[in-house]
Amino acid sequence: MSKTYGIELKEIFERCDNSIPPFFIEGCQWLMKNGMKTEGLFRIPARNKDLQTWREKLDENPATSINSVTSPHLVAGILSYFLRELPTPLFPSWMFYRLHSAVEMDNPRRFAEVLCTLPGPHLALVRTFFPILFELSIHQKDTLMAPVAISACFLPILLTHPQGQVVLIMQAEYREQGRAILENLVSKWKEIEEHIVELIKSFEVKITMKVRKPRRPGQTEEEDVRDDFKKKKEDDIRTIERTRKAMEEALTKEEEESKLKKAHDEKESERRTQLERERSAVKREQEKTRALVVPAHSTQSSSSVCKTTSSTPKLNKTTHIMKYPFVAEGKGEISVKKDEKICVRKKLESGWWLVKKKNGKKGYVPGSHCEKIIKHF
């Protein structure tokens, strides 16, 4: 049974005493020290036979040291192979749009807030692995691995789309969005990490004050050190979890408010578009009526033309109430306020209604803005 490759990151952490697998830490340290001058690191593959051999060793024991490896490409291959085999990618699908919103905002702190919503094991691995990618981009003259090249290389490994991996790879729009996410993470990592530390630190003091207990009397120095290390690790886990929950609540609230605002804006835009259509329709109707009915020498007013030539019969004087406010912009229109009562005198086929206000003024308003009530003036 596989013990390292192809299982969820949370399970791997539990098997490694709630820590990053030792081989992954060793690999990152090895590359940071020996791989920053290697051309095409992570892009040029290692021998498949060597990768399979190391997979078998690490499946047996994730604490197996890889310091004996001498090839930078093999060390890079071991790390990328491990990441590729994760059932849930380092950045789960539900993070895609949040990360893309951070790209649009072009704000490192926003990236930090989004990353802090990751589960603890995922965030720990991101903070261990991305410094390597950042340094790789810094040395791009030697490695030929600029952020653009790194994002293209790791897109199918680290990221997935809510609609599936195939959508992310095959559809150009989502592929470009995914590459932009990784490119920004790599190029801005130093600033992002500073903000992550700041966010976590804001919760660290509270956690430490709550869980810190006095040492038991009679403990040896070795036991004291071991207990302190254990307590610190528990503090770190609780700190990360509290940070994650706080950031998740904040982002969820912001997303809900954004959805409400977007829905309101769409509704308002739709209403304005409909209003413009109705205005255009009534203008065409008036022009058509004048062209067909009014003689050139006639002195009859346009209002009386509408009155005498419209095929729409007069209505009984019914009282309506305005569902929406309306501001007159065209000739013959009349401004009314929301909830203002009006008397409808005529309904045109174009959707505009001739109404009379309580002050006696008449004019046209969109019929879609009116709602009938059982009452007369």
Alpha-helix residue ranges (DSSP H) falling in 294-348: 302-309
Q: Do domains 9-213+220-263 and 309-372 have the same CATH topology?
A: no
User: Which residues are 322's β-sheet partners?
Assistant: 370
Q: What CATH number should be reported for the domain whose range is 309-372?
A: 2.30.30.40
The token pair that represents 298 in the structure block: 């006639």
Alpha carbon distance 376, 50 (integer Å) = 90
Question: What ranges do the domains of the chain cover?
Answer: 9-213+220-263, 309-372
Give me the pLDDT at residue 147, please. Answer: 93
CB-based contact 130:189 (threshold 8 Å):
yes
Residue carrying the six token digits 């959707």: 351
pTM equals 0.61
CB-based contact 287:153 (threshold 8 Å):
no
Give me the pLDDT at residue 13, please. Answer: 87
Give me the pLDDT at residue 314, please. Answer: 45
In the sheet where 370-372 sits, what is the strand order?
A: 362-366, 352-356, 341-347, 318-322, 370-372
Give me the pLDDT at residue 215, please. Answer: 55
Alpha carbon distance 292, 55 (integer Å) = 87
- Please tell us whether the domain made up of 9-213+220-263 is placed in CATH 1.10.555.10: yes
Give me the pLDDT at residue 307, please. Answer: 42
CB atoms within 10 A of CB 119: 16
Burial of 352 (0-12, 13-18, 19+ CB in 10 A): buried
Which residues, given as ranges, of the chain have pLDDT below 50? Answer: 1, 205-212, 291-315, 375-377
Alpha carbon distance 358, 279 (integer Å) = 24
User: Which residues are 336's β-sheet partners?
Assistant: 326
Contacts 24+ apart (CB under 8 A), 218-225: none
